[in-house]
Amino acid sequence: MTESTSPGEAEYAAGRLIYKGAEADIVRGQWQGLDAVFKVRKPLSYRLKIMDDAIRRQRTIHEADMIHSAREAGVASPHLFYVDIPAATLVMEYVDGQRVKDIVGSAPRRVVEAIFGEFGRSVAMLHSAGIMHGDLTTANVVKRGGELVFIDFGLSLRTTRLEDHAVDLRLIKETLVGAHSQIAPYALDALLGGYAKGVGPARSRAALKQLQNIERRGRYARVA
Amino acid sequence: MERYVLGIESTAHTFSVSVVSSGGKILSNSKSVYKPPEGSGIHPFEASQNHLAAASGVLGDAVRGSGLSLNDISAVAYAMGPGLGPCLRVGAVVARTLASSLGLPLVPVNHAVGHIELGCLLTGARDPVVLLVSGGHTMVIAYSGTRWRVLGESLDLTLGQLLDQFGRHHGLASPCGATIEEAASKSSNYLKLPYTVKGNDVSFSGMLTAAKLLLDGGRPFADVSYSIQETAFAMVTEVTERALAFTGKNEVMIVGGVAANKRLAGMMTDMARRHSATVTFTPLAYSGDCGAQIAWTGWLAHKCGIEVAVDRSDVLQSWRLDRVDIPWRS
């Protein structure tokens, strides 16, 4: 690519770092007068450059594509403003809300169940559209008013394989049990209930069975 | 008053006995390691035969080495699991025998929890995100709500298995990590291998197949070793980084046999710096399987009243660490 600066660079430089993730820095700022976030996949020096450049650029292009596809499937995701491939940067709408991770700890059971029921329905819509999110932790779902907005499609895949969909469910389960152990039992039930409503009972049963198979494949698995 | 716990490790290739004090001093740590023939892995029965033959000598060394007598011991801890059944049973028999004949409490210890707790003792880590990498485990772990929780893990092979099975394909004897590290240090020719991160989890089975094919296709062992290390270590570093960012903790600790690898250590140090987190490594002598991990964790459990009756002291081959309550941390 050429050395010319990217259209978003000046705005990005003026922005404020709001989150330093594992994969990317999230910078909040203005883009063409719009309230925006810049998701910048910074080079990771522990990876070989040849491997790192390819992974960052490929994930950037892919994520842009998937964010758009999610909305087509009826699941809220941020609006994209600009995709800067050489800089591995996405410029998108700022989602003004709270991460599910930050609200479920103190919310009453009824609210938690409502959120996870909706969470499950949204995942079902993604899966029915052939989209695996790939990183369904509670940090990647933002509650904005009455809707859940799914962010971070960096590890998503276009797939209808039962296995891949079950891997999605497995990560939610792992996050709930690992990071929200107090609410895990009923949150998971609510999520799977919403999921079953979305994909239908047969597909839901098959996905759960596959989830168990995956867990059995893991080390020292003893599936309840 | 100082108290002393004797711990017995026998989950896989290592039979080891250690005596530690309640103050966290390791008084002895004797071991016998089963070495499989070149090109093959651990045969559980063969390993258990090694342990049976070695048990009495290792026990004697550990007691003598501690400068104490068996009468000074307050409790006997053993690795109840997870691990290879025949190997676990040898340690359990020795532990039961000691506990019954000396009239001491018998304390069951989870081997993986043992790696973590000994690591914390030796490195001073207080509340770390733990990368446990060995022949038996590849897990990213953090403490939360009464237990050590698994935040990410391998969906198939462990990192140790990846290295060992690749090494054995080349005709080496397990464990192959050191030889692969040595070979990798002589190459900088990266051959593309599958980089498989699924959420917080990793998968190595495709990489193993691809690496074997590269070897079979005539690529130099050094180049493939280098490429495996670069790819596999970057994957586990990435998922550890994700767990660090997710939990907001500021310590990273690496334990298990593969913790000895310098390239992995370099990547983890680099990653931790990005997050202003400290990074610690279990000292080489204690990063692999050893009695001290069982003895020290045995003491922590013993002081919380955890014990098991001799007639109920089974072994649990598939005992996941996230099923173990950790009262000494809550």
- Domains of chain B plus CATH, in order, are 4-115+289-329 (3.30.420.40), 126-286 (3.30.420.40)
Chain A neighbours among B 289-308 (CB < 8 Å)? Answer: none
B16 touching A, CB under 8 A?
A: no
ipTM of the complex as predicted:
0.82
Question: Using the beta-carbon criterion (under 8 Å), do B198 and A21 form an inter-chain contact?
Answer: no
Question: Using the beta-carbon criterion (under 8 Å), do B230 and A51 form an inter-chain contact?
Answer: yes
In chain A, where are the structural domains located? 9-93, 98-217
- Name the strand (E) or helix (H) holding A59: helix A49-72
Residue A221: is its pLDDT beyond 80?
Answer: no
Q: Which residues of A touch B254 (CB under 8 A)?
A: none
- CA–CA separation, A131 and A71 (whole Å): 11
Secondary structure in 3-state letters for A148-214 = EEECCCCCCEECCCHHHHHHHHHHHHHHHHHHCCCCHHHHHHHHHHHHHHHHCHHHHHHHHHHHHHH
What length does chain A have?
Answer: 224
Q: What is the DSSP letter of B198?
A: E
Mutate to test the interface with B, among A55, A140, A219 (most CBs of B within 10 A): A219
Structure tokens at A40: 């910048």
Question: Using the beta-carbon criterion (under 8 Å), do A46 and B318 form an inter-chain contact?
Answer: no
Average pLDDT, chain B: 95
Per-residue model confidence (pLDDT) at position A1: 42
Mean pLDDT throughout A61-68? Answer: 95
Per-residue model confidence (pLDDT) at position B288: 87
- A65 assigned to active site: no
Mean pLDDT throughout B195-219? Answer: 94
Backbone angles phi, psi at A105, to 5 degrees: -60, -40
Does the reported pTM lie above 0.90?
no
* CA distance, residue A47 to nearest chain B CA (Å): 6
B247 touching A, CB under 8 A?
A: yes
Average pLDDT, chain A: 90
Q: Which residues of A touch B244 (CB under 8 A)?
A: 22
Q: Which residues of B touch A22 (CB under 8 A)?
A: 238, 241-242, 244-246
Bond into B82 cis (ω within 30): yes
Question: Using the beta-carbon criterion (under 8 Å), do A22 and B267 form an inter-chain contact?
Answer: no
Q: A98-217: CATH homologous superfamily?
A: Transferase(Phosphotransferase) domain 1 (1.10.510.10)
Structurally, at CATH architecture level, domain A9-93 sits in 2-Layer Sandwich (3.30)
Q: Please choose, from the candidates A41, A39, A15, A19, the residue with its C-alpha nearest in 3D space to the C-alpha of residue A28.
A: A15
Q: Which residues of B touch A217 (CB under 8 A)?
A: 155-156
Beta bridge partners of A34: A31
- CA–CA separation, B115 and B137 (whole Å): 11
Residue A136: is its pLDDT beyond 90?
Answer: yes
Question: Using the beta-carbon criterion (under 8 Å), do B234 and A222 form an inter-chain contact?
Answer: no
